[in-house]
Amino acid sequence: MSSTLSLLFRHPPIRVSALAIFFFGFTGAATSPYMSLIGIRELGLSDAFYSAIIFTAALVNVSASVTAGIVADRLGRFRSSMIAAALFGVTGFGMVYFFPKAPIFVVATLIFLPIFGALNSLIFAHVRTSSAGMPARELMAVNSAIRAVLSASWVLVPGLVGIVLAGAPSMLPAFLLASLACCICVVLFTFGVKEHAPAMGGAKGVDHSFLRSLGQIAAPPVLVRLLAIALISSMLHVNGTVLPLIVSGAAGGSAADVGVIVGIVAFLEIIFILFWGWVEARTSTLFAVGVGASIYCSYLVFLGFADSRVDVYVLTLVSGLGAAAIIAVPISYLQNLIADRAGLGSSLIAVNIFVSGGLSSLLFATGTSLSDYSGTALIGALAGLCGVALLWFLDGSASRMRRKSDVAQGGEPLVTGEGENA
């Protein structure tokens, strides 16, 4: 795992990407806890209107991520696209801080901040192109390390921002801090990223038209695998909803317990993300995501039967281990679904977040209509198990065959085919 971290420091483009992903995470970690507070309580938006804004913003984000990936592939480089996305963040967070009015907040939330969110996929696409000459095992390790840095920002920043703004009459300064973090991203991309000759996405013979690119995403081999990963990822969203309700309900805990438990799991995720990168590099992406998701399924089952807060605290180790795999390992899998298009393949990360969030809402609604919150956790585990089974049904035999031929060559046993031939 120490060798994984060393990869970030040996390669300047990857080092810049790691710094950028930290400050990208900084913006969300600094502002997400206060978005609803500012929108609803300080600016007077209704609950229903705020919910509609958040849903629409998610649609804009996934659309922007796909579009940015297609444009970057067509250009054959990512620097200009990353700078543009970061500037949207500078503007969006800045306008909320300097002009705290409801219409400004709505425009920023619906347009500027979702487009800025496309930076996440663009950074992973840039990492993929910058790592084009690396052995496949090192590439998987790099993805895990970059994702660990993103998680680290979510562990460190909320507490630091809370300390800085303690006693302040408003949490709006968090948006100023986020805007400054976006400025740092602009500087990093401007002076730390060099434009290279078109690679991967800019390869000759690849059709970069918008409709053709959408057709690649909508191809059945890609869609069905995306559904499998979304079912697995939906467990994280279900847990995020039911955990506070179970802890403060059936487990007899308090809101303070929820915060401590979430903090413990977030810290463990950083360590375990590096661990899963090590496992993935020595087995296969399919094996790592399947085992990790199965562990998280077992966590949700035990959470559903938890009847004391001690039970939930004990489960943090299992939760952190399983969640780390679900967070980090599918990145390589999703990118390989459209392997010849770094931007388009990486945009599937955003598509997965959107689809898994929608599935989790459906699972929560179904679970609470048929059972209680504990039963909903069990339904979430069942959905994740279905995702694992679907993934193994689609790629299990292919993964075993590829592993036998690729291990001797030191390459990655790709769990899907290349592009449309998957």
Tens-digit pLDDT profile for residues 368-401:
999 899 999 999 999 999 999 999 999 876 555 4
Q: What is the mean pLDDT of the chain?
A: 86
Question: Please, what sign has the CA dihedral across residues 75, 77, 81, 83?
Answer: negative
Structure tokens at 193: 């990223």
Provide the 3-class DSSP secondary structure of residue 254: coil
Matching fold, domains 1-199 and 209-408: yes
Q: Which residues contact 216 (CB under 8 A, 6 or more apart)?
A: 222, 338, 341, 344, 419, 420
pLDDT at 203: 47
Q: Which of these CATH numbers, 3.20.20.100, 3.40.50.11540, 2.130.10.10, 1.20.1250.20, describes 209-408?
A: 1.20.1250.20
Other Cβ atoms closer than 10 A to 104? 16
Other Cβ atoms closer than 10 A to 220? 9
Please choose, from the candidates 203, 192, 209, the residue with its C-alpha nearest in 3D space to the C-alpha of residue 70: 209
Other Cβ atoms closer than 10 A to 109? 21
Q: Where are the domains of the chain?
A: 1-199, 209-408
pLDDT for 404 beyond 70: no
Q: Which residues contact 47 (CB under 8 A, 6 or more apart)?
A: 40
Alpha carbon separation from 303 to 168, 357, 379 (Å, rounded): 37, 20, 12
How do residues 3-39 score in pLDDT, each as one tens digit? 566 667 778 888 999 999 999 999 999 998 888 888 9
Provide the 3-class DSSP secondary structure of residue 414: coil
pLDDT at 406: 46
**CATH superfamily name and code, 1-199:** MFS general substrate transporter like domains (1.20.1250.20)
